[in-house]
Amino acid sequence: MELWQTFVKMVHALVPWLDGTVAIILIIFIKAMALLIPLMLVVAYFTYAERKVIGYMQLRIGPNRVGPKGWLQPIADALKLMTKEIIFPTKANIYLFLLAPVLAIAPAIAVWAVIPFDEGIYITNLDISLLYVLAIGSIGVYGIILAGWASNSKYPLLGALRSAALLVSYEIVIGFALVTVVMIAGSVNLNTIVQAQQGGIIYWYFIPLFPIMIIFFISSLVETNRAPFDVVEGESEIVGGTHVEYSGMTFAVFFLAEYANMILMAVLSVIMFFGGWHSPFEAIPYLESVFSWIPGIIWLLVKTTFFMFLYLWIRATFPRFRYDQIMRLSWKVFLPITIIWIFVVALMTQLQLSPWF
């Protein structure tokens, strides 16, 4: 942190024009790049990991031709998609057609601004960061709706209609699920929520909020359009859903948005329910000192990687849900459970149930 302070001062000294306005913009830009470049690399290699993991689960090898063990496969894919022609359907609304992928990726990246990676490592410490995550996350649905509508084609419209209704329903479930987290932590600041889980694995919120944790994870699968809830694409039902008319880089941007959202949801699960940057060995007599040298960001990334692996594992395991069953799951199963659990948490708060309150 001191290093960062000296860096900020240095930038201000180097760029003194306009009351330091240029310096402020430059610092914001550097911060954004420091997050964005690793994020895009992780997204690229997450697609590689997905193909490898599912490959081994299906007794195949997966990509192994480009580079040693296929390590350069994502780079090759990116190059291929960049050089491909972007095809515009006739009579498609071209502005909205091009705006849709932008509206898909912009919120997927903008949400990362408030994610705390370690004690004091974040882009911005917003006081209402949880609401910010929900608000910006809810904009992602515009990408899908517009892609379906602007394509002026049959299957994209069907896919967009299906998924728009689905995403709006599951946002309600996620909102209610996060209310319980807010009730325990007593804050909507993600930093405070993680700090409230300090003191060992027993303090993490997945213990008092176990059903909510499961519901949040399943809902995050729906929100990111992942199997077994990928009705927006549904290859076997509606060809490719909203992506049918998209090609080349426009398609790649949708793909990037989906994977960035998946990683985001994994990080959010860790922050809400699994102690964020806290070590699982806290308050355990011998192990705590052995593992104390590991920085918090490593713990966060390790836990996040586990959840990212769960996404791939689930995709390889379950067949696709029928659409009306997903809707039923949201409105008739998850929503009542979350509302009941709000009352349970209120009861826990009143009883001062240790160690969480």
Partner 1 sequence: MGFEQIIFYIFSFWFVVSSLAMIFSRNAAKAVLFLVLAFFSAASIWILLEAEFLAIILILVYVGAVMVLFLFVIKMLNIDKSTIKARFTGYLPLRLIVAIIIIAEMSLVLGSNQFGLDVFSVPARHSEGYSNITVLAMQFYTIYVYPFELAAVLLLIAIIAAITLVHRNDNTSRKKQSISEQVNVQAKDRVRLVSIILPDKKEK
**What is the contact surface with partner 1 in residues (CB under 8 A)?**
19-21, 24-25, 93, 95-96, 99, 126-128, 131-132, 134-136, 138-139, 141-142, 145-146, 148-149, 157, 160-161, 164-165, 168, 171, 188, 324-325, 328
Instruction: Report the residue number, 135 or 346, with the smaller CB distance to partner 1.
Output: 135
Q: Is the peptide bond before 116 cis (omega within 30 degrees of 0)?
A: no
In the bound complex, what is the minimum distance in angstroms from residue 221's beta carbon to partner 1? 19
Q: How far is the CB of 139 from partner 1 (least distance, A)?
A: 6
Environment class of residue 32 by beta-carbon count within 10 Å: exposed (0-12), middle (13-18) or buried (19+)?
middle
Distance between CA atoms of residues 267 and 264, nearest Å: 5
Closest CA to 276 of 74, 108, 82, 114: 114
Nearer to partner 1, 168 or 207 (CB): 168
CB of 161 to partner 1, least distance (A): 7
Q: How far is the CB of 64 from partner 1 (least distance, A)?
A: 40
CB of 225 to partner 1, least distance (A): 15
Residues 6+ apart with CB under 8 A from 204: 197, 273, 274, 275, 278
Q: Which is nearer to partner 1, 48 or 132 (CB)?
A: 132
Between 100 and 212, name the residue whose CB sits nearer to partner 1.
100
- H helix runs in 15-128, sequence order: 21-57, 73-83, 94-110
- Annotate 169-231 with DSSP letters as a single string: HHHHHHHHHHHHHHHHHT-S-HHHHHHHT-SSGGGSTTTTTHHHHHHHHHHHHHHTT-TTS-T
Cβ closest to partner 1, residue 62 vs residue 156: 156
Q: From the CB of 254, what's the least distance to partner 1, in Å?
A: 18
3-state secondary structure of 285: helix
CB of 155 to partner 1, least distance (A): 14
Q: For residue 93, report the phi and psi dihedrals to the nearest 5 degrees.
A: -80, 105
Q: Cβ–Cβ contacts within 10 Å for residue 96, how many?
A: 16
Q: 294's torsion region: left (phi>0), alpha (psi -120 to 50) or beta?
A: beta
Residue 48 vs 334, nearer CB to partner 1:
334
CB-nearer residue toward partner 1: 171 or 233: 171
